[in-house]
């Protein structure tokens, strides 16, 4: 059994912050008491920003956080907030224009701001509902989940495999990212229900990853693809994101745990590339690289550090190496540079290469990444 003594020390203050500061704040100030659900973003003083569209993706992420927090007993109001969020999702986004699927975003007045059907957003509503089902065992929710999957198959499936990004399509690019989060959702659904159909769907996404997204010659993950799922021509097709490399490492290890798939070839290559090229001189992860390891976008965000922590935990549980130290470093960097700024319960989501904040607000969506990493670290420490 892997031991994580350094991680144990590094994560302790972040775990305390999550339970005592972040969850109470985002479960109160972050709740949209007038319109339903959760606020999309807060300003840097911690006040809600209400004059922006509210995306389906954010509601799905917050539903996950408070459902999981309720299961763990980390937030006493978690179940009520999750119930309230599901009611809002079903009444405001689900088939809101009379058509199958979920609308992308609502306007500040509650009308539909964007009726687009977005695969990435559907992945997160499936993920949030899977955790809500785990919390409540609500059969009606399972029916909505299956209806959502039918819509994906009928409304967004591509003859070349996987799903188109959206309908209507915003551009001619297909992205790996929606499929990564659909894998996450299907694994969560399988774990919540034990139904083999969800396991099989996860395995189908894995096959798409192995044959289309993963680039054997460079050991990297292609972000931007053509309709036929070939790398986009030109520089855009060479872009890789170290944060997504780490995220796939963790997800592939979850797939291995739940299905027995052999993933070592892929996890080793993705981890090796991100570890060798993704970190800058300040110990933070850059946003974008080329497949050769050259830096394309030198800005840094919160979420790649959370994914690096999860990947190091997963690898530390499967093979020998300095994974405890690296997981601990990820949490220390997260706490030291991004969290508790500019307010105690907040974060700086993105900063320039020189350390200047790049956003004048705090996106609520960041909580999902931080919470996932904290719960994974807590699980690993309990297991050890």
pLDDT, averaged in runs of 10, over the chain (384 residues): 92 98 98 97 98 98 99 98 98 98 98 98 98 97 98 98 97 97 98 98 98 98 98 98 98 97 97 98 98 98 98 96 98 98 97 96 98 98 91
The full DSSP string for 70-134 is HHHTS-TTHHHHHHHHHHHHHHHTBTTTSSSSB-SEE-TTSSEEE--EEHHHHHHHHHHHHHHHH
pLDDT of res. 27: 98
Q: What is the C-alpha separation between 282 and 58, in angstroms, rounded?
A: 30
pLDDT of res. 171: 96
In CATH, what is the architecture of 5-383?
Alpha/alpha barrel (1.50)
Q: What is the C-alpha separation between 25 and 22, in angstroms, rounded?
A: 5
246 contacts 308 by C-beta, under 8 angstroms: yes
Q: Which of 330, 302, 307 is nearest to 251 (CA)?
A: 307
pLDDT of res. 62: 99
Answering whether pTM is above 0.95, one says: yes
pLDDT of res. 1: 63
Residue 73 CA to chain centroid, in angstroms?
22
Tracing tokens 């954010």 back to the chain, one arrives at 58
């Amino acid at each position: 059994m892997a031991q994580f003594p350094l991680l144990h020390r590094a994560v302790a203050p972040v775990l305390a912050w999550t339970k005592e500061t972040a969850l109470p704040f985002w479960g109160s100030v972050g709740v949209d008491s007038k319109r339903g659900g959760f606020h999309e973003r807060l300003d840097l003083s911690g006040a809600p920003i209400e004059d922006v569209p509210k995306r389906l993706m954010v509601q799905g992420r917050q539903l996950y956080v408070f459902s999981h927090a309720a299961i763990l007993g980390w937030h006493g109001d978690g179940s009520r907030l999750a119930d309230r969020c599901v009611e809002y999702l079903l009444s405001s986004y689900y088939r809101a224009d009379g058509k199958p699927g979920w609308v992308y975003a609502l306007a500040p007045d509650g009308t539909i701001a964007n009726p687009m059907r977005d695969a990435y957003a559907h992945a997160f509503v499936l993920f949030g509902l899977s955790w809500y089902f785990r919390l409540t065992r609500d059969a009606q929710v399972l029916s909505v989940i299956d209806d959502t999957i039918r819509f994906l198959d009928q409304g967004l499936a591509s003859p070349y495999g996987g799903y188109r990004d959206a309908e209507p399509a915003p551009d001619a690019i297909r992205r790996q990212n929606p499929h990564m989060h659909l894998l996450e959702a299907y694994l969560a659904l399988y774990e919540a229900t034990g139904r083999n159909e969800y396991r099989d769907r996860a395995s189908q996404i894995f096959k798409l990853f192995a044959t289309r997204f993963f680039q054997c010659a460079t050991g990297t993950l292609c972000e931007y693809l053509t309709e036929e799922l070939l790398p986009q021509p030109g520089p855009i097709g060479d872009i890789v994101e170290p944060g997504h490399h780490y995220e796939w490492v963790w997800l592939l290890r979850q797939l291995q745990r739940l299905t027995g798939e052999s993933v070592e070839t892929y996890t080793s290559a993705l981890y090796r590339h991100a570890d060798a090229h993704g970190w800058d001189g300040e110990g933070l992860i850059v946003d974008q690289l080329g497949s050769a390891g050259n830096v394309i976008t030198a800005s840094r965000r919160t979420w790649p550090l959370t994914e690096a922590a999860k990947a190091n935990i997963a690898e530390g549980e499967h093979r020998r190496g300095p994974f405890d130290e690296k997981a601990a470093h990820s949490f220390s960097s997260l706490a030291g540079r991004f969290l508790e700024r500019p307010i105690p319960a907040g974060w700086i989501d993105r900063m320039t290469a020189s350390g200047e904040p790049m956003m004048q607000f705090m996106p609520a969506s960041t909580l999902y990444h931080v919470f996932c990493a904290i719960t994974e670290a807590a699980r690993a420490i309990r297991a050890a």
